[in-house]
Amino acid sequence: MAPLSDPARFLRSLFDRAVEVADPMQSLHRVLPPRPQGRVVVVGAGKASARMAEAVEAAWGPCDGLVITRYGYARPCKGIKIVEAAHPVPDAAGQAATQRMLSLLEPLGADDFVLALISGGASALLVAPADGLSLAEKQAVNAALLASGAPIDRMNTLRKHLSRVKGGQLAAAAYPARMLALMISDVPGDDPAFIGSGPTVGDASTPADALGVLADWTIPVPPSVTQAIARSGVLRPDDPRLSRTTNVIYAAPAQSLAAAADLARTAGCHVEILGDALEGEAREVAAAMAAQAMAIKSAKSPDDLPVLLLSGGELTVTKRGTGIGGPNAEFSLALALALNGAAGIHAIACDTDGIDGAAEVAGAIVTPETLAKARRAGADPAAHLAANDAHSFFAAIGAQVITGPTLTNVNDFRAILIL
């Protein structure tokens, strides 16, 4: 598709390509070994975990096991039990399923094999509060974290120290069985210790680091939370209970950006990849990218190729208003305001899992007409941004991107097209 003929449709095709490349049914079989002899148990958690389980059974046939995914993200499996639970704030269904998973792993021995399927979302879906901590207290901390603006690595540091399953503790529960953990990365830098809070990966952080997250982002907690942190069971990276676990990231944001870039080059674009691990406040990153896009536009001659700026990573929203946030929608709204209707600049920003923040919306599309459409619809873009209510803004002008469950998760996808 030529980017000049229908820029919005072209940008959506790039996003769809990025999601397609990360689909476990298209990619997992490349790293899956032959089915081991003896007892095999499959466990996992995350928004892509049911799709990953489906891909495993397509290659191995029916398997014993249990994976936990988000409500609405289940897939048909012949042997592996699929349990749905809440995300991004955990619930009792996730807690009960996690206990079933731990009970499944407890009797395994050195001759048994565990395949762990981990993707983004596992931090909320694997729910085993640390001793002395209630589910309600865990939910309150998680909700406060999501509203704090803390980056994902800091969130996951705290989550690990409030859990009996994160920070290598799931692998410890399976020891001495052999474990292969296959992961889809949704974290900047692709550090396996932070994908789903690293249930199969040791961590060098300390209880003091976890307390530092509470202090740095001013998150008030009851004494039971600080006491649970002090008793943390997070495993150090050299813990012998991790010696039989192998962790493999087989899908990551960089691969999806590369696939979108290839498609754009084929369509006649000059592509610049700004990075697959961008972090920061969504509105601030948007302002910087708007300035970059306008500088490129002002320097372009009519004969130059369209320029496409691609980026990934995980932006954050510090909630100040009554909206539900959503870093991709907030990025898009801040970008539209900064561009102020600049001619020839179009953009898309979406989460590859189809969920932006707590909304069942992937993200939004920005065009030179975005602000004009908002005026006609009676929507005040600055007021919506101040209220962290970008989703309502884009709903009012019909510019949301709604995919439903994509069954994968390699985090944010942003593309700015400069014609």
Domain limit, last residue, from 251, 268, 291: 251
Query: Last residue of some domain: 231, 251, 271?
Result: 251
- Domain range for 156: 31-251
Residue 1 has pLDDT above 80, yes or no: no
**Count of other CB atoms within 10 angstroms of residue 81:** 17
For residue 347, list its beta bridge partners: 366, 416
202 and 261 in a common domain: no
Is 1 part of a structural domain of the chain?
Answer: no
Tell me, yes or no, whether 228 and 302 share the same domain. no
Nearest partner of 196 among 125, 131, 255, judged by Cα? 125
Q: What is the pLDDT of residue 319?
A: 87
Name the phi and psi angles at 91, rounded to 5.
-140, 180
Mean pLDDT within 386-415: 96
| 3-state SS, residue 203 | coil
Q: Both 217 and 279 in a single domain?
A: no
- Predicted confidence band of residue 357 (pLDDT cuts 50, 70, 90): confident
Rounded to 5°, angle at Cα 415 from 413 and 419 = 170
Rg (CA), the chain: 22
Same domain, 173 and 291: no
CA nearest to 183, candidates 395, 345, 405, 22 = 22
* Angle, CA of 166, 167 and 170, to the nearest 5°: 55
Confidence bin at 199 (pLDDT 50/70/90):
very high
174 pLDDT more than 70: yes
| Percent of the chain topping pLDDT 90 | 92
The reply to whether 64 and 115 lie within a common domain is yes
Q: What type of residue is 327?
A: P
Choose one of 251, 285, 316: the last residue of a domain: 251
Same domain, 278 and 232: no
| Domain membership flag for residue 136 | yes
pLDDT in tens, 130-140: 999 999 999 99
* C-alpha torsion sign, points 267, 273, 279, 282: negative
Residue 236 lies in a domain: yes
Task: Identify whether residues 247 and 299 lie together within a single domain.
Answer: no
The reply to whether 247 and 258 lie within a common domain is no
Tell whether 24 is covered by a domain: no
Specify whether 130 is located in the same domain as 275: no
Instruction: State whether residue 216 is helix, strand or coil.
Output: helix
Other C-beta atoms within 10 Å of 34: how many?
A: 7
Instruction: Give me the number of domains the chain comprises.
Output: 2
The CATH number of the domain holding residue 181 is: 3.40.50.10180
User: How sure is the predictor about 70, in pLDDT bands with cuts at 50, 70 and 90?
Assistant: very high
Q: Are 31 and 55 in contact (CB under 8 A)?
A: no
Per-residue pLDDT at 147: 86
Q: Is the pTM of this model over 0.75?
A: yes
Split at pLDDT 50, 70, 90, the class of 358 is confident
* For residue 235, pLDDT beyond 80: yes
pLDDT, one tens digit per residue, over 303-356 is 999 999 999 999 999 988 989 889 999 999 999 999 999 999 999 999 999 999
Q: Is the peptide bond preceding residue 176 cis, with omega within 30 degrees of 0? A: yes
Mean pLDDT (whole number) for 181-210: 95
Q: Do both 208 and 353 map to the same domain?
A: no
Say whether both 239 and 259 belong to one domain.
Answer: no
State residue 324's pLDDT score. Answer: 87
Q: Which two tokens mark 77?
A: 């499996």
Do residues 141 and 184 both lie within one domain? yes
**pLDDT beyond 90 at 217:** yes
